[in-house]
Amino acid sequence: MAGIRMIDIAVNFTDGMFKGIYHGKQCHVSDIATVLNRAWAAGVTRIIVTGGSLEESREALAIAETDGRLFCTVGVHPTRCKEFEESGDPEKHFQALLSLAKEGIQKGKVVAIGECGLDYDRLHFCPAEIQKKYFEKQFELAYITKLPMFLHMRAAAADFCEIVEKNKDRFTAGVTHSFTGSMDDCIKLLSFDKMYIGINGCSLKTTENLDVVKGIPVERMMIETDSPYCEIKNTHAGIGFVKSTWPSKKKEKYDQECIVKGRNEPCLVKQVLEVVAGCKGINDVSNLSRTLYHNTCRIFFPHDLDSAADALLAGGNST
């Protein structure tokens, strides 16, 4: 698979696992640099680091500033939307997000507003009414900054699509990431112009999931790991399509030459690519990766499109 280039649109580098901390216990050294080296070697050329709260978005921006190939989002995850009200001044909290986004845009690092949306599987973290209120509010961030949106939809398709419909003129484009919905949900999402669907290991668990992925046009798809979560497990329906593997060891026996068992990481986005190709019966994985790469650049890195297109026409490999 020479010449494959991939962009992982969702990596949670702010998660403790990348600092070697699991359930509050330090198991190994912080190893983002090692994880990145594995990703670059696998053909990943860019990574978008996810922000899920004001504090996390600050940290995501700081991480993105450490490497020219790292970028990030600024926003509040649906399960954390209580932070607007717990801050004591929701409007001030919103303004802090806006100024962080503007700072990140100036630095050439913030490429999307998010992760925002609705998650009705985890209402114990944040009630639906608060989720809806602050999902809607974050369209203002997208409108002011002109950034695309990085979206989360879990067991909430009807309300989610209603809010997107109401605000569709307030954002330029978006991706509904970590998609695990039905074909109906998928059709609803694709009815919005410039809405893409993000696929990771959680999108590829069951044969039903694979049937839905088969029906998503590759022109409207992006790939991601959502690491350290959402790995493709041996029990997943798509595992038979996986060709690329890495040696792994348990976190207690940490070895920087190996991936950590049970911790997803960006190099494994290659497996997502392989499963998407396999379940769709696509033999030319290289061509598929080009389409997905182009989709991602179109939304998150539009300045690179011309040079990317020129390079492809020239049969070149660099953007």
Taking only Cα atoms into account, the Rg of the chain, rounded to an integer number of angstroms, comes to 19
- Residue 150 · residue 50 · CB < 8 Å: yes
Ligand-binding annotation for 185, yes or no, is no
Other beta carbons less than 10 A from residue 165's beta carbon: 11
Tell me which residue has tokens 């020239």.
314
Pair of tokens at residue 263 = 């911790």
**Rounded (10°) CA dihedral 117, 123, 126, 132:** 40
- Report whether 168 contacts 192 (CB < 8 A): yes
Instruction: Note whether 97 and 74 are within 8 A (CB).
Output: yes
- Asked if 220 and 197 touch (Cβ cutoff 8 Å), the reply is yes
Nearest Cα residue to 297 out of 225, 204, 196: 196
28 has binding-site annotation: yes
152 is in an annotated binding site: yes
* CB-facing half-sphere around the CA of 14: CA atoms within 13 A: 21
Known binding-site residue numbers for a divalent metal cation: 28, 115, 152, 177, 226
Binding-site residues from annotation: 28, 115, 152, 177, 226
